[in-house]
Amino acid sequence: MKVWIDGHLCTGVALCEKSCPEVFVMADDGIAHVVGPDSRPAPSGVAVEFPEELLEDVLEAAEGCPEECIFIEP
For residue 57, is it left (φ>0), alpha (ψ between -120 and 50) or beta?
alpha
Binding mask 3-42 for ligand SF4 (x = CB under 6 A): --x----xxxxxxx--------------xx----------
CB of 17 to ligand SF4, least distance (A): 7
CB of 5 to ligand SF4, least distance (A): 5
Instruction: Kindly list the residues in this chain that would bind ligand SF4 in the complex (CB under 6 A).
Output: 5, 10-16, 31-32, 65-67, 69-70
